[in-house]
């Protein structure tokens, strides 16, 4: 049945590829093999039935890529996912939780009595004070911290409830892709900042830089 459940977001194969750095052909292969399958569908403006991913499945793609890149083995990833299910419940609850993928670790961060735990160690508590500014950086983005590199988190946000989960300039509903498209049409950052007076030049510049970063990651993956 077409449509987008509330708080799930909708990520087409193309957008999922850009956000995770996984080539589209690999995503299609994983879908056919049942590794991580597309779980949502919408009817576009032309009446076509288009399949895509929820925010939850996007989280899984990021974790599977970390496995593929050798950051941890498949058994560790499976145990971490089992812990996340036990702690956070059904996948539709995940957009309101925080799952951080950092180096070889997966952290679960929820507003309950458990605080921050390491999913790769089956729920071992984490003393965040011993990790310096790491968790302040990881927590900087509500809902999308595993998808946005540290250098962009102050300027870019991703949340399933905002613009269908597209990356937007933080604190706004303006997709970063819109600003990048304007730059491709020869608009300058100062000109764009005047078009969107509620954004500063730095926010515009960082949003465009983020889009360029996504293109670079995709082409290098």
pLDDT one-digit tens code per residue, 1-12: 344 444 567 899
Residue 85's pLDDT band, with cuts at 50, 70 and 90, is confident
- Cβ–Cβ < 8 Å for 183, 55: no
Residue 56 scores a pLDDT above 90: no
- The pLDDT of 191-198, averaged and rounded, is 94
| Residue, of 97 and 34, whose pLDDT is higher | 34
Q: What is the pLDDT of residue 93?
A: 65
Pairing assessment for the beta strands 98-102 and 105-109 based on DSSP bridges: antiparallel
- The pLDDT of 168-176, averaged and rounded, is 93
Residue 114 Cα to chain centre, angstroms? 24
Which is nearest to 156 in space by CA: 209, 110, 103? 209
Report CA torsion sign: 94, 100, 105, 110.
Answer: negative
Residue 39 scores a pLDDT above 50: yes
Q: Domain coordinates of the chain in residue numbers?
A: 11-220
Alpha-carbon distance of 143 to 61, in angstroms, equals 15
Residue 71's pLDDT band, with cuts at 50, 70 and 90, is confident
Alpha-carbon distance of 176 to 86, in angstroms, equals 35
Alpha-carbon distance of 62 to 86, in angstroms, equals 20
Q: What is the pLDDT of residue 94?
A: 65
Q: Which two tokens stand for residue 7?
A: 């708080």
Alpha-carbon distance of 197 to 195, in angstroms, equals 6
What residue has token string 């890529």? 65
Alpha-carbon distance of 169 to 155, in angstroms, equals 6
Q: What is the pLDDT of residue 13?
A: 93
């Amino acid at each position: 049945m077409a449509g987008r459940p509330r708080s799930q977001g909708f990520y087409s194969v193309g957008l999922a590829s850009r956000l995770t750095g996984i080539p589209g052909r690999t995503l299609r292969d994983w879908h056919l093999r049942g590794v991580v399958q597309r779980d949502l569908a919408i009817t576009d403006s032309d009446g076509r039935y288009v399949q895509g991913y929820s925010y939850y499945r996007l989280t899984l793609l990021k974790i599977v890529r970390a496995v593929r890149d050798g950051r941890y083995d498949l058994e560790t990833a499976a145990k971490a996912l089992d812990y996340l299910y036990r702690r956070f419940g059904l996948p539709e609850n995940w957009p309101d939780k925080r799952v951080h993928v950092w180096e070889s670790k997966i952290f679960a961060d929820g507003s309950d009595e458990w605080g921050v735990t390491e999913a790769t160690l089956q729920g071992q508590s984490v003393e965040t004070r011993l990790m310096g500014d790491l968790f302040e950086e990881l927590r900087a983005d509500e809902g999308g911290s595993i998808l946005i590199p540290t250098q962009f988190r102050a300027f870019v946000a991703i949340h399933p409830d905002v613009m269908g989960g597209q990356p937007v300039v933080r604190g706004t509903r303006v997709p970063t892709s819109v600003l990048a498209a304007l730059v491709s049409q020869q608009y300058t950052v100062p000109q764009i900042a005047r078009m969107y007076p509620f954004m500063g030049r730095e926010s515009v510049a960082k949003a465009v830089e983020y889009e360029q970063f996504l293109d670079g990651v995709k082409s290098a993956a």
